[in-house]
Amino acid sequence: MASSHFDSLLSEEPIAAFEKTLLPSTEHGADLRFHGVVRDREEGRVITGIRYTHYESMAQRELEKIGAELAAEWPEHRAMIFHRIGFVAIGEASLLIRVQTKHSAEAFLICQEYVKRIKATVPIWKEVVFAEG
């Protein structure tokens, strides 16, 4: 765990195993969970899933950096980021972002910012696995 407000994990384990990692607190009224789920098509073609690879130490450092930046911007939130690595089949979640704040509007803004920064800077790459090979 990087700090008391933020935690992140990169793993091949299904996201369901980590759903309850960050428990609700009495100081936070909003508990928002975003699941990024693998769709069944990419570029109009049927897929079976996505294979995620990463540069582990750099990816973890970048997630912690994002957590620290957002803690400076919104100091009273808590967050947990979980990103799957390896093959993720269609219909399964590859990303879980859980944000807790006092108010719901702020939770949505913070979650959007986590998604934006993760996609822009964390070295996690996806290889689409098409159904036809």
Residue 107 has a pLDDT of 97
Q: What SS3 string covers 61-76?
A: HHHHHHHHHHHHHCCC
Residue with the two structure tokens 């996609």 = 119
Q: Is the pLDDT of residue 1 over 60?
A: no
Which CATH number fits the domain 28-130, given the four candidates 3.90.1170.40, 2.40.50.100, 3.40.50.1370, 3.90.380.10? 3.90.1170.40
Q: What is the pTM of this model?
A: 0.90
Residue 114's contacts (CB-CB under 8 Å, 6 or more residues apart) are: 66, 70, 79, 81, 97, 99
> 40: helix, coil or strand?
coil
Res. 96 pLDDT band, cuts 50 70 90: very high
Cα dihedral sign for 94, 126, 11, 56? negative
The neighbour count for residue 24, using CB atoms within 10 Å, is 12
Distance CA 62, CA 51 (A): 20
User: CA 95 to CA 9: how far, in whole Å?
Assistant: 10
Q: Where are the domains of the chain?
A: 28-130
- Residue 3, pLDDT above cutoff 60: no
Model confidence pLDDT, tens digit, residues 7-28: 999 999 998 877 766 666 778 8
